[in-house]
Structure 1
Amino acid sequence: MSSAIDLNCDMGESYGAWHMGNDEAVLQFVSSANVACGFHGGDPSTMRKTVAAAVARQVAVGAHPSLPDLVGFGRRVMQVTPQEAYDMVVYQVGALAAVAATQGTRLHHVKAHGALYNMAAKDSALAQAICRAVRDVDAGLVLYGLAGSHLVQAAQELGLRAAHEVFADRSYQDDGSLTPRSHPGAMIEDADASVAQVLRMVQEGMVRSVNGRDIPVQADTLCIHGDQPNAPVFAKALTDALRKAGIEVRAVP
């Protein structure tokens, strides 16, 4: 059983006149923020405002690089080479690192977004490219990756600190991967069901797949999605349940 866990949330995904999520409400509950870097959401002003808001709440700031897909919100699979993935991650992490510097802080972690995250979880070459990009920008950054996936394995092989990530609002397949969003039941929309899944992952190191199979997981950091309508409700329910169970919510050291 873990006595502490990081609670992270994807945010800063608004851009231009398009608004997504309720970042201010969620920030009061989470310990780390994954800030969009402009490829799937976010823009320079939103990046600055989101980092400033996180700093004000003493929330750790991380980069959330994506495939270049604003229209598809970074959730559509694209054919990219490892070199292309390396370049786009360097570009996005570097941009957010500069924004963070203007707000008197430094980046804490990097977590790939959407399709890029899921592709790299299963593709060792892509995972290696992403982790090399993170290391080459700043070897002190923590790499957030799907628990037990190629992402965390690649990070460890390259000497990066890796945080095994689990999900509060997503269901799992038998192989430990996330259920594709196009499938029924991919999102857990009931707060009580989400809390039950989280407590089992943290306390027992297990999660039940959609087919009823128990899958072992390591839970270092726990994700909720800021773009879902009930994100603040989920965040509060989760933090209340974790603290009631004696589990501290804090950023990955």
Structure 2
Amino acid sequence: MNIAFRSDIGRIRLVNEDRAWAQHVNNGCAVAIVADGMGGHLAGEVASQLAVDTFRESLGGIELPTLSLEERRTLVRGAILQANEVVYDMASRNDQYHNMGTTVVAVLAGQDGGIIGHIGDSRVYIWSKGQLVQLTEDHTLVNELAKHGQISQEEAANHPRRNVLTRALGTDEQVEVDLIDFDWEHGDLLLLCSDGLSTMVADHDMSAILAGGDHDLDAKAERLVELALQAGGDDNITVVLLHHVGDTEQEG
């Protein structure tokens, strides 16, 4: 499995509140996470960094191939809930971090498939057999309105409150984690990203980059960030790519 990741502050924001981490664990398996922080002065970057650090520590030393599907689900859910506890505790004990939080989307990927843990509007897509499919569902106000037929998908994409989350990590003592199982095959790609990519770059443009056979994985990640910047770069942009191939050397 190959890995590449990139993060950019964008053209508008003064601070990059996105954080990401990805790493091989063993036997061609990998772990990855993207967190997009929110809050007052510096609080967003504190929340996202705490979430990534806690998740990484929780998964230290795992032997993924030996775990059952249910054990993998429990591991991902537990690591995210631990991150929620850490961020919430920090926010509760420090006035400057009051109500800080972060999105989180994390992947535990083996050769046969994996588990996604998800809170907020950062996303995971899979590119397989020439098609890009979004695997996660945004925890946003406009997505709820669209699901219930109150607004169209086009209206949702341009809604003035499209960034309002209905669920985030660290803002409440208890939080629900969405867990998603996925299967993938040799040649497939997983894309984890913050909304700085998904709100600025259309699915068909992302798909075209991932399909391109003339770029290595690093270059694909760079190109995705470039597209978001060219579209305006209104937010921080973070991209993690996992490529299901035989070579396990990291490219990013």
Q: TM-score, normalised by structure 1?
A: 0.37
Greater relative CO (CA pairs within 8 A, separation 6+): 2
More helix by percentage: 1
Q: TM-score, normalised by structure 2?
A: 0.37
